[in-house]
């Protein structure tokens, strides 16, 4: 609606795709169906508004910077970017089909390079590659874009450095640098303006920055924890079929390449994607040309009639209302769910059947339709206090020349994604009258436009591991997707229009909202927001060393709940460096992989604290630095928000 008011009918749901990179380390509560907001204690308006506003501003910036350009495409394999976390389910797919592929996960990255035609300047890059955003474990409490967010940061910084010829500084006089740092003390807390923190962002969002987007694909059964899953009690591999340890799902955990350091694992998997993206970007020479086109339709996925062709005997089956099985409750090796469940469970205990029936006993139709999934949560038949799961979902196809992007509202497993890409390509070639050839590339943009959990193959569904147990619409869900996407592909190939389909409901007026704060924050008596509670502790040698990841600058500020203002396009934390003749210049902010901002309450539970920690990069410029914090607060519920800042004492960073 906002884009409609601003640009008329130029941008609309048919030709705009919203696709998530997928992280398990982000704020929740922004989806409208009840089952997705249980863990956030209801719908969270602030989370929803932050996402909507950011998407809107991204589109505005893109529109205001439109210019003639060229697109180049390249493809290559990412090594050790992911493994299959449900290999036993994958093996249920036909042997002949599996034999066509070298691995049980897709390793191919497809990359687009965008170039300004007039200047030849590179403007940005999009790529698609499947691996879950679960390098950060379920114990993490920091907001993170996970490995794809890290890859994007590394790529954008690489491009900035490669175009500015950034080099490391030398140290002409160590003694003077240390002496200067020791003389500069903490500033104390001070009031500032609502937009002050925006001026301290290292990368200003003015629409001119290079954009490196790392997009998600058929990620359903792909984990970045590439060392495998092991039992924490014995150190041995987990049970192959159930991913448990003597029946216990809680102690079967996947290990990333930096195990046991989850942040290091995130960095490594991010770097593997980033390095391949750089290779593809710098070597891309094939230019994309041809038509731009799109198709979009809404479908009621709870009762789609699907025609199956089995040995030339046409069978008609149906999808089902949404439901989740006990394998869903078991969780995965990336993050175990509830104790007492295992992936692949085909039975539900009497205790859990009684608990389920209190919420909603599934109808016999639903039991038969979802078989062999035993129904733990009958979300598709639950409407109190409002719908628990989506019924109407969108599917979408976008065309850029010989590149076809399939925007899917869920997580396709590896083989499910392969079947979808193949079916669409075959249909395009069949009906395209020579317009589509073997060089047509089809990519899946996962988690697009809404979320409806997983899509497993029919064969994988029979085992009922996590992905199959989370395939909402029954055993023929993938077949329905194949059928409906083939319709879109035929329409695109022949130039036909398609009807919009039934619109999804708007539940915004009836959603439950449990969050009621924050109401008010104040520092202890005699203290101002932004004052230091714990200043920098410099090592005995008198300075910090570049690349020393054990001894990090760390400071704690008296602060307030960061939810008063999310400081969008601003920052809560900054590392400043002292430049002769220029003063303090921001060098890193909370968008950087090396800087950590942590909010907590003090020992009394009455006052808010902000911890800022800097993992000094190996390539940091030597010199004098300090840590700065920005925040906001209000004394009472309806009082105006006030903004504050404060900086630590200075410290030296040397080699």
Q: What whole-number distance in Å separates Cα of residue 113 and Cα of residue 122?
A: 7
Report cis status (omega within 30 of 0) of the bond before 372: yes
pLDDT tens digit string along 362-403? 999 999 999 999 999 999 999 999 999 999 999 999 999 999
Structural domain includes residue 366: no
In a domain, 508, yes or no: no
Three-state secondary structure call for residue 166:
coil
Residue 359 near residue 503, CB atoms below 8 Å: no
Q: Would you say 133 and 8 are in contact if contact means Cβ atoms under 8 Å apart?
A: no
Percent of the chain with pLDDT over 90: 90
Domain-located, residue 368: no
CB 27 within 8 A of CB 568: no
Q: Which of 462, 494, 526 is the last residue of a domain?
A: 494
pLDDT in tens, 81-132: 999 999 999 999 999 999 999 999 999 999 999 999 999 999 999 999 999 9
Q: How far apart are CA 260 and CA 275, in angstroms?
A: 23
What lies within 8 Å, CB to CB, of 382 at 6+ separation is: 34, 359, 360, 388, 389
Within this chain, do residues 527 and 608 fall inside the same structural domain, yes or no? yes
Distances (CA, A) of 460 to 25, 464, 485: 28, 7, 21
Residue 177, pLDDT score: 84
Please say whether the beta carbons of 448 and 55 come within 8 A: no
Question: Which among 141, 95, 137 is positioned nearest to 223, based on CA atoms?
Answer: 137
Number of domains in the chain: 2
For 151, other C-beta atoms within 10 Å of its C-beta total 30
Separation of alpha carbons 54 and 50, rounded Å = 6
**Is residue 154 included in any domain, yes or no?**
no
Per-residue pLDDT at 165 exceeds 80: no
126 and 25 in a common domain: yes
Nearest C-alpha neighbor of 298 from the set 392, 231, 385 = 392
The confidence band for 178, taking pLDDT boundaries of 50, 70 and 90, is: confident
Query: What pLDDT score was predicted for residue 496?
Result: 97
Task: Mark residue 139 as left, alpha or beta (left: phi above 0; alpha: psi -120 to 50; beta: remaining).
Answer: alpha
Closest CA relative to residue 290, chosen from 427, 428, 445, 420:
428
Say which residues have a Cβ less than 8 Å from residue 473's Cβ, sequence separation at least 6: 301, 302, 304, 319, 320, 321, 322, 380, 452, 480
Residue 156 in domain: no
> Which pLDDT belongs to residue 325?
98
| Residue 313 reports pLDDT greater than 70 | no
- Residue 431 and residue 558 share a domain: no
Residues 190 and 295 in one domain: no
Q: Check whether residue 198 and residue 116 sit in a common domain.
A: no
The span from the CA of 611 to the CA of 243, in Å, is 37
- Distance from C-alpha of 433 to C-alpha of 401, rounded to nearest angstrom: 15
Average pLDDT over residues 475-483: 98
Based on the fold, state whether residues 538 and 629 are members of the same structural domain: yes
- According to the annotation, is 476 in a ligand binding site? no
In terms of domains, do 640 and 547 share one? yes
Same domain, 479 and 628: no
Q: Do the annotations mark residue 411 as ligand-binding?
A: yes
Q: What is the pLDDT of residues 446-465, one digit of tens each?
A: 999 999 999 999 999 999 99
Q: Are 27 and 143 in contact (CB under 8 A)?
A: yes
Residue of 321, 317, 349, 344 lying closest to 331 (CA atoms): 344
E-state strands within 22-152: 69-77, 83-84, 108-116, 122-128
* Together in a domain, 286 and 403: yes
Q: Confidence class of residue 164 from pLDDT cuts 50, 70 and 90?
A: low
CA dist 460 and 532 (Å) reads: 56
Using an 8 Å Cβ cutoff, are 445 and 408 in contact? yes
Q: What is the DSSP letter of 590?
A: T
Distance, CA of 248 to CA of 286 (rounded, Å): 51
36 inside domain: yes
The answer to whether the CB of 480 falls within 8 A of the CB of 472 is no
Peptide bond into 260 cis (omega under 30): yes
Which range among 110-119, 142-151, 169-178, 263-272 shows the weakest confidence by mean pLDDT? Answer: 169-178
b/e burial code for range 67-97 (CB count within 10 A of at least 16 → b): eeeebbbbebebeebbbbbbbbbbbbbeeee
Give the pairing of strands 573-579 and 623-633.
Answer: antiparallel
**149 burial via Cβ count (<10 Å: 0-12, 13-18, 19+):** buried
Residue 354: which H helix or E strand, with range? helix 350-359
Strand order in the sheet with 403-407: 292-300, 392-400, 403-407, 441-445
Nearest to 131 by CA among 291, 273, 11: 273
Closest CA to 360 of 392, 330, 327, 385: 385
Q: Which of 443, 462, 494 is the last residue of a domain?
A: 494
Q: Which residues pair with 300 in a beta bridge?
A: 392
3-state secondary structure of 652: strand
Burial class (CB in 10 A: 0-12, 13-18, 19+), 591: middle
pLDDT band at 311 (very low <50, low <70, confident <90, very high): low
DSSP letter (8 states) at residue 504: P
Q: Do 545 and 616 sit in the same domain of this protein?
A: yes
> Would you say 614 and 576 are in contact if contact means Cβ atoms under 8 Å apart?
no
Q: Supply the pLDDT for residue 245.
A: 97
463 within domain boundaries: yes
Q: Each residue of 40-76: pLDDT tens digit? A: 999 999 999 999 999 999 999 999 999 999 999 999 9
Question: In terms of domains, do 560 and 435 share one?
Answer: no
Measured distance CA(174)–CA(545) in Å, rounded: 12
Q: Which of these three, 429, 464, 494, is where a domain ends?
A: 494
The angle formed by the CA atoms of residues 109, 113 and 116, to the nearest 5 degrees, is: 175
Alpha helices in 377-465 (DSSP H): 414-431, 458-461
CATH number at residue 636: 2.60.40.2300
The parent domain of residue 619 ranges over: 171-205+516-653
Answer yes or no: is 232 within a domain.
yes
Q: Are 152 and 605 in contact (CB under 8 A)?
A: no
pTM of the entire predicted model: 0.95
Terminal-residue alpha carbon distance, the chain: 54
**Do 48 and 197 fall within a single domain?**
no
Q: What is the C-alpha to C-alpha distance for residues 558 and 571, in angstroms, rounded to an integer?
A: 17
Residues 6+ away with beta carbon under 8 Å from 187:
530, 646, 647
């Amino acid at each position: 609606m906002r884009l409609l008011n601003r640009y008329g009918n130029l941008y609309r749901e048919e030709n705009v795709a919203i696709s998530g990179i997928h992280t398990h380390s982000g704020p929740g509560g922004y989806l409208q169906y009840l089952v997705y907001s249980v863990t956030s204690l209801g719908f969270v308006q602030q989370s929803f508004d932050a996402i909507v506003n950011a998407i809107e501003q991204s589109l505005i910036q893109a529109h205001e910077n439109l210019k003639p350009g060229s697109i180049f495409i390249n493809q290559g394999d990412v090594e050790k970017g992911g493994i299959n976390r449900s290999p036993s389910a994958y093996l249920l797919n036909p042997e002949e089909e599996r034999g066509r592929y070298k691995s049980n996960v897709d390793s191919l990255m497809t990359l687009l390079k965008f170039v300004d035609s007039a200047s030849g300047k590179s403007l940005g890059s999009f790529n698609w590659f499947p691996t879950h955003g679960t390098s950060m474990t379920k114990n993490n409490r920091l907001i993170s874009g996970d490995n794809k967010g890290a890859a994007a940061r590394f790529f954008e910084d690489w491009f900035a450095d490669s175009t500015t010829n950034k080099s490391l500084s030398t140290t002409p006089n160590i003694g003077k640098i240390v002496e200067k740092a020791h003389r500069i003390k903490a500033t104390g807390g001070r009031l500032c303006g609502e937009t002050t923190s925006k001026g301290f962002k290292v990368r200003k969002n003015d629409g001119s920055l290079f954009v490196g987007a790392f997009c998600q694909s058929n990620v359903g059964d792909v984990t970045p924890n590439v060392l495998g899953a092991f039992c924490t009690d014995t150190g041995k591999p987990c049970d192959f079929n159930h991913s448990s340890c003597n029946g216990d799902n809680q102690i079967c955990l996947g290990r990333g390449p930096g195990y046991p350091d989850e942040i290091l694992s995130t960095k490594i998997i991010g770097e593997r994607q980033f390095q391949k993206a750089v290779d593809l970007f710098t070597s891309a020479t094939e230019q994309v040309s041809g038509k731009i086109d799109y198709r979009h339709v809404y479908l009621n996925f709870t009762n789609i009639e699907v025609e199956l062709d089995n040995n030339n005997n046409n069978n008609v089956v149906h999808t089902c209302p949404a439901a989740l099985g006990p394998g869903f409750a078991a969780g995965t090796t990336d993050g175990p769910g509830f104790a007492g469940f295992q992936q692949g469970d085909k039975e539900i205990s009497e205790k859990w059947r009684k608990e389920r029936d209190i919420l909603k006993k599934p109808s016999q139709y639903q039991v038969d339709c979802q078989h062999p999934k035993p129904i733990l949560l009958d979300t598709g038949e639950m409407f109190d206090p409002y719908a628990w799961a989506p019924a109407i979902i969108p599917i979408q196809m976008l065309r850029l020349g010989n590149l076809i992007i399939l925007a899917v509202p869920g997580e396709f497993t590896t083989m499910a994604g392969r079947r979808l890409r193949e079916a669409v390509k075959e249909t395009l070639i069949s009906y395209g009258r020579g317009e589509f050839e073997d060089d047509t590339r089809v990519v899946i943009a996962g988690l697009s436009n809404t979320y409806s959990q997983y899509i497993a193959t029919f064969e994988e569904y029979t085992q009922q591991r996590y992905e199959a147990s989370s395939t909402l619409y029954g055993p023929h869900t993938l077949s329905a997707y194949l059928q409906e996407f083939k319709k879109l592909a035929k329409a695109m190939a022949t130039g036909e229009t398609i009807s919009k389909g039934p619109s999804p409901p708007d539940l915004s007026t009836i959603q439950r909202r449990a969050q009621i704060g924050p109401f008010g924050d104040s520092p202890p008596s005699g203290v101002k927001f932004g004052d230091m509670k714990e200043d920098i502790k410099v090592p005995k040698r008198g300075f910090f060393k570049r690349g020393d990841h054990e001894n990090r600058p760390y400071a704690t500020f008296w602060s307030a709940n960061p939810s008063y203002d999310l400081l969008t396009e601003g920052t809560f934390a900054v590392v400043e460096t002292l430049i002769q003749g220029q003063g303090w210049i921001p060098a890193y902010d909370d968008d950087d992989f090396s800087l950590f901002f942590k909010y907590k309450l003090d020992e009394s539970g009455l006052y808010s604290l902000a911890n800022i920690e800097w993992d000094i990069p190996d390539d940091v410029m030597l010199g004098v630095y300090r840590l700065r914090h920005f925040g906001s607060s209000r004394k009472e519920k309806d009082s105006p928000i006030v903004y504050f800042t404060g900086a630590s004492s200075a410290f030296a960073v040397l080699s």
